[in-house]
Chain A
Amino acid sequence: MQHDNTQGANRWRRFDDWDKRPLRLDNFAVEDPENGFSAMHGANDPAPAFQRAGRNITSMDGVAEEQFDMIDLFIARYHLDPDIVDEAMALPSVEVARMLIDVNVPRGHLVHLAHGMTPAKLAEVVAHLSSMEIAFAYSKMRARATPGNQAHVTNAKDDPLQLAADAATAVAFGFDEIETTMRVSRNSWSNALACCVGSAVGRKGTLFQCSSEEAEELQIGMAGFTSYAETVSVYGTEGSFIDGDDTPWSKAFLAAAYASRGIKMRCTSGAASELLMGFHEAKSLLYLEARCLCMQRAMGAQGTQNGGIDGAPLAASMPGGVRELMAENLIAVWLDLECASGNDARSSESEIRVGAKILPFLIAGSDLICSGFGSILKYDNSFNPSSFNGEEMEDYLVLQRDFEADGGLTPRAEEALLAIRKRAVEAMSAVMEELGLGHPDEDMKASVAVASGSDDTRSYLPGQVSTISADIAHREITVLDAIRALHQRGFEEEAENLLFLVKLRLSGDYLQTSAIVRDGKVISAINDPNRYDGPATGYRMSEQRRAEIANIRGVLDKREVLRTEATYEAAETGRISYRTMGKAEKGSDAAEIVIGLSPAFGTKLFRTLAGHSLSQVLGEIRTGIEQGGAVARFVRFAHTADTSFLGLSAARLAGSGIGIGLQAKGTAVIHQKDRLPHNNLELFSNAPITSLEHYRGLGRNAALYAFKQDVEPVVVPTRGEALGARFHGRVALIYAIETGLTRDGADPEDLAIELAGAAS
């Protein structure tokens, strides 16, 4: 230990440790309601209020009709229902908050009341709920029963081959929607074609959107490449709305325009966008978002993407900001909107904050849990890194399994994913060739199929993609051309899948609230409504779905453990022999240490958890004992497999009264014959990190105890590894093998052990 300048140090060094954690990269801001930094209590938030003259709303949340801005006007005319407003606004907010979490108050009644509430009223009600209550209410109030999820599919080069491969991969994981955008905005047509083709591989019905400039996005939809849009952004103040280059009327027009072309549409809003744009009016995130959501319902949008989208990191910098994000999602579903519930832009560098953020939505379920799970690597995400990305995909899959919560995704086998990626690359290459857009060579294709991200590819670069994109737009290539090209080149299934998707437009079924496609059928809030009224109601996973979620990779079972041990056994055969010498009796040699071995030691199990062969471990212990001047005797016990009892039993047979208990997995103890079973002299409980040197030291110390000398205990140093997480699955399986061999009252047996290359 180095003794540096700790004298005179004026800082607890734990702060140095804390400074190095990713958390400290996050911005945190003080609450400052005057400057818009308030989650739920803005300096200028109005109290809920209204007045009406007949069916005309003459004042809302403290603003008289003459003073209404565009947003007030739109909400007063198209959201507030004059038939409901008297009843709804008269209810005390706390009472309504209690109704939201009361399983006996039906969702339908609460939706009815919301249609008569002003933005300030909605905000005031949900502000009464704790985070847990918000999550619970969300689970009760969301519109469609079956939860779903949405992926981002983008890459840093706008490479169409990689987009196709990654779109197909996202489809394989089960995403209901995929969304792309571009590094270079003029590459939009190429990105749209590539994701469209990729999303048709493996399964039909995954909805797809290409986030780009409003007018262009609609044109891409008209060409049939995309099936939905969600970048119809709205804002909670007039100033930010105008800065965003729209009005409630222009956005409502766009909503109707999308529907008129048979394209699903949802709006986008979310905390802190007004603050980022500089037009917050000293109002809270929640109040402004309540205005956005009332406006979206008023426009006739079927749904929203909210819960802090680009503004999520800013919201998360404030006290209560994450709770506010949850609360605004709740208002969305309470208003009966489909909710793609954020969990999108990564709001923290801390994996703990990210994991905590997702949990309420994972267990509550949501129409689309993430409104952009980055299915690609972080650096390939052209929106910005998401909360969850390609890197963290398996973490998410395991969270589903942990909580038995349907997060919309399904684990997939390695070989299956590679096959899908190859097929998508081939399909996209075929389309490009047939349409005269390019001729990807074998090296380009191979590099993309196995690439984790665009750093690994030798394929198209953004400049080349611009030419392709311009070509698609200029030649007015449509989805029908892509379908024909796929069919022409033998991609029959993909051609059928794409045709299925564009035919959805004819009925308009997927324009209804919360619509996605599962098993080739549209499900929505109409035919799959969320009806939760307590335990055993609402969405529950089928046994089949539960099995799918549980089926992650690298799962242990007893057969696998025994198979592994069998390979070790073959290796051990030449190194050690165990000969049974009959019943073991108490020894009389004061220098004798007994090593008590567990039942499966060298009979069924052959390696410690640290990977040492048992012959090596026994050799080291014996050497240590001998170095200490004592003599080793080996005894097999079958009456117990417990380390403490092995050790104590061994000690009672030893002439010195000192024994070592040793399990096959490597757990070891030094015991003394007069001690209580669990009050040993030394214990190696962390077998996975116990080295051969440690075992030798253990033997030596046993000898020193026998001669009653001063002993420095052997300490197996841990660096805080979560050994339970790493090993306990295997330990439980191994230990069951040990306990399976125990017999009550079995006599101890002396063992003659011969190690190859050593005298016994």
Chain B
Amino acid sequence: MSDRRLELDDYPLAETRPDEVRGARGLSLNDITLDAVMAGNVTMEDLRVTANALQQQAEIAQAAGRASLAANFLRAAELTAVPQDVIMATYELLRPGRAADKQVMLDAAQRLRHEFAAERMAQFVEEAADVYGRRGLFKFRY
């Protein structure tokens, strides 16, 4: 993989660098064939986008002048390491009235930071905790 930042010409990755596009367990696009599926050698893990691919898409989005889309891809790159149940629990916590107080959210942010090295996402949850406090969202809804 080159060190230069990707440009618009590098898109789509599946066409410009098919050998580098890989799933979470390292299988490439060419490895994931119908035969491999039938032989039981492909799992859902192999069909998951990697942090690397999302970082590359962030570079392409940035090159297209879409900074906020790029930022979303970078947050997403962090979340690739976060298991589904933690994703769902964190989402639930971010919904209004789910967290009883600010600390619950700050704890969730810390977990993202320390267990999954999801620094951007952690800051985002901390920011939400602060805003929810200001806007009185720590209240019982059901």
Inter-chain CA distance A481–B13, complex, in Å, is: 27
Q: Give A77-94 interface residues, CB cut-off 8 Å to B.
A: 78-79, 81
Count how many chain B residues have C-beta atoms less than 8 Å from C-beta atoms of the other chain.
65
- Please tell me if the beta carbons of A245 and B95 are within 8 angstroms of each other in the complex: yes
- Please tell me if the beta carbons of A527 and B12 are within 8 angstroms of each other in the complex: yes
Residue A49 at the B interface, CB < 8 A? no
- Please tell me if the beta carbons of A259 and B54 are within 8 angstroms of each other in the complex: yes
A499/B32 contact (C-beta < 8 A), A249-B124, A506-B22 known: yes
Inter-chain CA distance A256–B118, complex, in Å, is: 12
One of B12, B38, B49, B135 near A521 (C-beta < 8 A): B12
- Please tell me if the beta carbons of B68 and A253 are within 8 angstroms of each other in the complex: no
| Neighbouring B residues of A214 by C-beta, 8 Å | 91
- Please tell me if the beta carbons of A247 and B128 are within 8 angstroms of each other in the complex: yes
Q: Give B45-68 interface residues, CB cut-off 8 Å to A.
A: 47-50, 53-54, 56-57, 60-61, 64-68
Chain B facing A: main interface SS: helix
| Neighbouring B residues of A753 by C-beta, 8 Å | none
23 interchain pairs, CB-CB under 8 A = A70-B135, A242-B97, A242-B137, A249-B94, A253-B91, A253-B121, A257-B76, A257-B87, A259-B49, A260-B76, A261-B49, A336-B66, A506-B22, A506-B47, A507-B21, A508-B57, A509-B12, A509-B57, A511-B54, A512-B61, A513-B66, A521-B15, A527-B8
| Neighbouring B residues of A238 by C-beta, 8 Å | 135
| Neighbouring B residues of A241 by C-beta, 8 Å | 96
- Please tell me if the beta carbons of B128 and A112 are within 8 angstroms of each other in the complex: no
- Please tell me if the beta carbons of A507 and B53 are within 8 angstroms of each other in the complex: yes
**Min CB distance, B16 to chain A, in Å?**
10
**Min CB distance, A251 to chain B, in Å?**
9
Nearest B residue (CB) for A79? B68
- Please tell me if the beta carbons of A503 and B29 are within 8 angstroms of each other in the complex: yes
Residue A152 at the B interface, CB < 8 A? no
Inter-chain CA distance A685–B43, complex, in Å, is: 73
- Please tell me if the beta carbons of B95 and A505 are within 8 angstroms of each other in the complex: no
Q: Give A260-301 interface residues, CB cut-off 8 Å to B.
A: 260-262, 297-301
| Neighbouring A residues of B61 by C-beta, 8 Å | 512-513
One of B21, B77, B78, B92 near A506 (C-beta < 8 A): B21
| Neighbouring B residues of A218 by C-beta, 8 Å | 87-88
Inter-chain CA distance A525–B73, complex, in Å, is: 16
Q: Give B78-118 interface residues, CB cut-off 8 Å to A.
A: 78-80, 82, 84, 87-88, 90-92, 94-97
Inter-chain CA distance A235–B89, complex, in Å, is: 23
Inter-chain CA distance A214–B94, complex, in Å, is: 13
Residue A69 at the B interface, CB < 8 A? yes
A73/B131 contact (C-beta < 8 A), A108-B65, A257-B87, A507-B14 known: yes
Nearest B residue (CB) for A495? B34
A508/B72 contact (C-beta < 8 A), A69-B135, A215-B88, A487-B38 known: no
Q: Give A60-118 interface residues, CB cut-off 8 Å to B.
A: 69-70, 73, 78-79, 81, 108, 111-112
Inter-chain CA distance A222–B47, complex, in Å, is: 10
| Neighbouring A residues of B137 by C-beta, 8 Å | 242, 247
| Neighbouring B residues of A81 by C-beta, 8 Å | 67
- Please tell me if the beta carbons of B91 and A257 are within 8 angstroms of each other in the complex: yes
Tell me the A residues contacting B by CB distance below 8 Å.
69-70, 73, 78-79, 81, 108, 111-112, 214-215, 218-219, 222-224, 238, 241-242, 245-247, 249-250, 252-262, 297-302, 336, 478-480, 483-484, 487, 492, 495-496, 499, 502-509, 511-513, 521-522, 524-527
| Neighbouring B residues of A249 by C-beta, 8 Å | 94, 124-125, 127-128, 131-132
One of A112, A256, A479 near B121 (C-beta < 8 A): A256
| Neighbouring A residues of B21 by C-beta, 8 Å | 506-507
Inter-chain CA distance A473–B80, complex, in Å, is: 23
- Please tell me if the beta carbons of A260 and B47 are within 8 angstroms of each other in the complex: no
Nearest A residue (CB) for B132? A247
One of B22, B53, B94, B141 near A250 (C-beta < 8 A): B94
Chain B positions 123 through 141: 1 when the CB is less than 8 Å from some CB of chain A, otherwise 0: 0110110011001010001
| Neighbouring B residues of A479 by C-beta, 8 Å | 44, 47
| Neighbouring B residues of A215 by C-beta, 8 Å | 88, 91-92
| Neighbouring A residues of B50 by C-beta, 8 Å | 506
A112/B44 contact (C-beta < 8 A), A247-B95, A249-B124, A507-B21 known: no
| Neighbouring B residues of A506 by C-beta, 8 Å | 14, 21-23, 29, 32, 47-50, 53
| Neighbouring B residues of A522 by C-beta, 8 Å | 12, 14
- Please tell me if the beta carbons of A297 and B68 are within 8 angstroms of each other in the complex: yes
- Please tell me if the beta carbons of B38 and A484 are within 8 angstroms of each other in the complex: yes
- Please tell me if the beta carbons of B37 and A499 are within 8 angstroms of each other in the complex: yes
Chain B positions 1 through 26: 1 when the CB is less than 8 Å from some CB of chain A, otherwise 0: 00000001001111100000111000
One of B49, B88, B124 near A262 (C-beta < 8 A): B49
**Min CB distance, B128 to chain A, in Å?**
4
**Min CB distance, A530 to chain B, in Å?**
13
A298/B68 contact (C-beta < 8 A), A253-B94, A495-B34 known: yes
Inter-chain CA distance A358–B25, complex, in Å, is: 46
Inter-chain CA distance A187–B65, complex, in Å, is: 41
**Min CB distance, A39 to chain B, in Å?**
28
| Neighbouring A residues of B73 by C-beta, 8 Å | 259, 300, 508, 511
The 9 closest A-B pairs by CB, nearest first: A300-B72, A259-B76, A262-B49, A260-B79, A249-B128, A250-B94, A509-B12, A256-B75, A507-B14
Nearest B residue (CB) for A496? B34
- Please tell me if the beta carbons of A526 and B60 are within 8 angstroms of each other in the complex: yes
Inter-chain CA distance A246–B92, complex, in Å, is: 9
- Please tell me if the beta carbons of B34 and A499 are within 8 angstroms of each other in the complex: yes
| Neighbouring B residues of A222 by C-beta, 8 Å | 44, 84
Nearest A residue (CB) for B95? A250
Nearest A residue (CB) for B84? A222
